[in-house]
Each structure stands twice: as structure tokens, then as C-alpha cells.
Amino acid sequence: MSVLKIGVIEDELVIARTILSVLDELGYSYCGPAINYTEALDMLDNDKPDLVLLDIQLAGRKDGFDVAEKINESHKIPFIFLTANSDVETIDMAKKVKPHAYIVKPFTKEELYAAIEIAFSNFAGNRTEAKPDNSASHYAKNFMFVKDGYVFRKIFFSELLYLESEANYINLQLIAQKRVIVRSTINDFMKQLPPNQYIRIHRRFSVNINLIDDIFPGELSLQGVKLPIGKSYREELFNALGINQP
């Protein structure tokens, strides 16, 4: 299990404590608050947050824009501006350092949660898209993290028995009779899995090819579970298993 760590850079301590309390309610880990440029850099270097909530107005000569430039230059993590300013000049300056979201104070818990989730999801998605799909290191890991509520859960590929599609959600059935639900289509989720280990057998199902026990005329079994084989998927399945069809 891995929980997103949020760094808080905010010089108004009352607001900072409120933010930390909200992050705690939402189930995130956090570090800070840092109240100035020097403390912010120290937090980034030593605590290594996954995402930063950054106030534009900070104590001292350097402000949030200076911190943002340092993040872009040296840390390459997403950051969200938190500010009481929504004037044209401030927004124009903010656009130059490319924040992943911009929240105007005061804000609600729901607004903060949505901004964090979307910012981190878009950032992680862009990093994935930047890597070539045929890279040898793309599937070097034997696990992945999936979002389950407020938590990122670690799942080993060897423990993932099968996927079941239900509209815009996927049920991930694990060997230990545990199930995790993630928001995704089965086609999109399959792109995150090792291509030689998982195969579609039906419009609703994809299975771990290493855990298949038996093949029947219209279904297969794995770990005591029987799943249907769609006619349009049968040939690809048999070819992957090295079965010569009569």
C-alpha cells in the first residue's frame, strides 16, 4: 500500500493547520508546513513529497513563483497554487510556471481533493505517455499501484487473477479472494499490464494466462473460477497457449 504524500508550503499557520487537517481526513500523508523559500527547498529535498500545495505569497523576499521555478527545474513533481488572489496579473504570472491546478481561497475539502487527484493523475499520465511503449524497462517491475478510494494499493501482477469490466469500472480479482475496484475501461487498464501475461477472453474479462487451469468448449477455469470464452477471442487465446484447435 502506498499513500500519496502532499507537501504544504503556506506561511499563514492557521490556514496551514486547516490544510493539514483536511489532508488527514482525506487519507493523505503530508509534510510541512514550510513558510518560506528556504524551508520549502529543505522540505522538497528531504521529505520528497509526491505533490505540493503552494501558496503564492510567502514570508521573505522570495515567493511561491520562485519555489515553483525550483520545482520545475530540480524536482519534477506536480504542484497546485493556493492563493487568495484571482486577478489577471497574478494568473498571468502563474501561467508562466505551469501549475497543475490553481485554487482560490477559501476552498472546500471536496475542491481540494478533486484538484489533488486530477493534478496527480494528469501528471502521472503524462509521464507514462512520454515513455515509449516498447521500452525494455516499461514492464521491469512486477507490481503496479492502483487508486482505491483515497489510497494507492500495491498489486503484484502474479497475484492478479482476472479483470472484470463493469461499464467504466474494472473489478480486479486477486488470488487471495480479494477484490479491488478501479475506475477505468478494460482496454485502457490492459495497457498497464505486461502484454504476455494477460489476455482478453471475453468482452468483459481478461485473465492471467499463467493461472489458467482448464479449457472447456465455451469457458475456462482458473483457481476454481469459471469464466466464459467469447467466440471472437478463442483463436487468440489458443494461439497464446500453444493449443492446436481441431
| Total-model pTM | 0.54
Nearest to 11 by CA among 51, 62, 76, 78: 62
What does the pLDDT read at residue 57? 92
* CA–CA separation, 49 and 28 (whole Å): 11
pLDDT of residue 1: 35
CA within 13 Å, CB half, 13: 0
pLDDT the model gives residue 15: 93
Q: What is the model's pLDDT at position 220?
A: 96
What are the cell numbers at 155?
498489486
Angle ∠(183,5,33) on CA atoms, nearest 5: 140
Output the pLDDT for position 129.
Answer: 44
Query: At a CB cut-off of 8 Å and minimum separation 6, what does 105 contact?
Result: 15, 82, 83, 84
- Euclidean distance between the first and the last CA atom of the chain, given in angstroms as a whole number: 46
pLDDT < 70 regions, the chain: 1-2, 125-141, 150, 245-246
Q: Are 56 and 62 in contact (CB under 8 A)?
A: no
pLDDT of residue 214: 95
Q: What is the pLDDT of residues 173-229, one digit of tens each?
A: 999 878 888 888 888 888 888 878 899 999 999 999 999 999 998 999 999 999 999
What domains appear along the chain, each with residue ranges and CATH number?
5-130 (3.40.50.2300), 143-241 (2.40.50.1020)
Residue 204 class from Cβ within 10 Å (0-12 exposed, 13-18 middle, 19+ buried)?
A: middle
91: left (phi > 0), else alpha (psi -120 to 50), else beta?
A: alpha
Q: What is the pLDDT of residue 132?
A: 38
The SS3 assignment for 36 reads: strand
